[in-house]
Amino acid sequence: MPDMDNFKEAAAFGVGTPQTTVGYPLKGCASLDWGVKNRLARIFDPADGRTLMLACDHGFIMGPTGGVERIDLSIVPLLQYADCVMCTRGVLRALIPPTDTTPVCLRSDAGTSVVTELNDNVVIDPEDAIRLNAAAMAVMVAVGDSRFEAKTIANLYHTVDIGARYGIPVMGVTAVGKQMTRDARYFRLATRICAENGANVVKTYYTEGFETVVACCPVPIVIAGGKKIPERDALELAYKAINDGAAGVDMGRNVFQSEHPAAMIQAVSAVIHKNLKPDEAYQMYQDLAAAK
Ligand code: R5P
C-alpha cells in the first residue's frame, strides 16, 4: 500500500483543459490497439513516420552470404544507426546483444533455401516472438506462386491473428516468384493482398509507377534494397521510394555489402529522415567513408 502520511490532496484536475487525444500518424494504423501502435512507434520514428530497417535475415535462405558471415562483426556495429533490425531468432539469440535496444522485426517464417527457391514455408511459434520482445513479426507472402500462394497467405493471416492477440504488428514481405513480372501492377496486387489480410506494414520492391503501389496500399510500405548496386544508385533508390510515398526501407545488402557500411547506413538514414537528395547523400557517404 502507498504510504498515506503527508498525503497530497488531489487538486490538479485541469478543469477547462480538454484531455488531449493524440492522433496516430502512421497510415492506416489509427484504429490499432495501443500495444501495436507502441511497437510501430518504436520502428517508425513518430516525428516523421519513417524508418530505416536494417535487414540481415538473408542467412535463413542464403546461408552466410557476403556481409553476414559474421553478424557480430558486420551488423552489430551498425545497429546504432538503424531504427530497427530485421533478423531471425537464431541470429538474435546468438549474436545480437540483449543490451541492444534497437527494435527487432523478427523473421517469423521459414522453410525455403536458395538451393530450392520458394518452398512450403511455415511460421514459427509466435510465443517465441513474445519471448524475444519482438517489435514486429515478418512473414513472406508469395502472390502469384501457384503452389505456395495460399499457404503463404495463410501464414500471414495466422500470424496477424496471433499478433493482434498480443499486440505485435506484422509485416507482410512480398516474395516475387521468378515467373512474375516485377511491375507496378504486380506490386499493387501483392501489397494490397498483404494489407487486406491484415499486415500492418508491407515490404516490397521499388518499381516504375511505385506511387500507385503506395497509393492503393492502405498501410505503410517499406522497400527492400535488392541486390548490391553502386552506392549512389542505392541512395537514389531510397530517395525515389521515399519521394513516391514509401515509409522507409528495409535494406540489407546495399548496406552491409557496401565498401563502407557505416557510412552507407548513415547516408541512407539521412535520405529517409532528413530528406537528403541522392547527390547530397552520396557526398555524405563519401565524406564519412573518407573520415573513417
Ligand atoms: C526477404 O524475404 C528478406 O527479408 C530479405 O532478406 C531482404 O529483403 C533482403 O534485403 P535486401 O534486398 O535489401 O538485401
At residue 271 the predicted structure's pLDDT band, cuts being 50, 70 and 90, is very high
Residue 256 in contact with residue 74, Cβ under 8 Å?
yes
Nearest atom, ligand 1, residue 86 CA = 4
pTM: 0.94
Q: What is the pLDDT of residues 191-215, one digit of tens each?
A: 999 999 999 999 999 999 999 999 9
In angstroms, what CA-CA distances link 41 with 49, 78, 124, 222? 8, 20, 24, 15
Inter-CA distances, 114 with 84, 85, 137, Å: 25, 22, 22
pLDDT tens column, 26-76:
999 999 999 999 999 999 999 999 999 999 999 988 899 999 999 999 999
Cell numbers for 251: 535494406
Q: pLDDT of 215-257, one tens digit each?
A: 999 999 999 999 999 999 999 999 999 999 999 999 999 999 9
Active-site residue flag, 203:
yes
Is the shortest distance between the CB of 173 and ligand 1 below 6 Å? Answer: yes
pLDDT at 2: 65
Ligand 1 neighbourhood includes 244 CB (under 6 angstroms): no
Q: Tell me if 52 sits within 8 A of 103, measured CB to CB.
A: no
Domain boundaries, the chain: 34-221+247-256
Average pLDDT, the chain: 94
Q: Strand runs (DSSP E) across 77-126, as ranges? A: 84-87, 104-107, 109-110, 122-123
Rounded average pLDDT over 140-159? 93
Mean pLDDT across 120-143: 93
- Domain 34-221+247-256 belongs in CATH node 3.20.20.70: yes
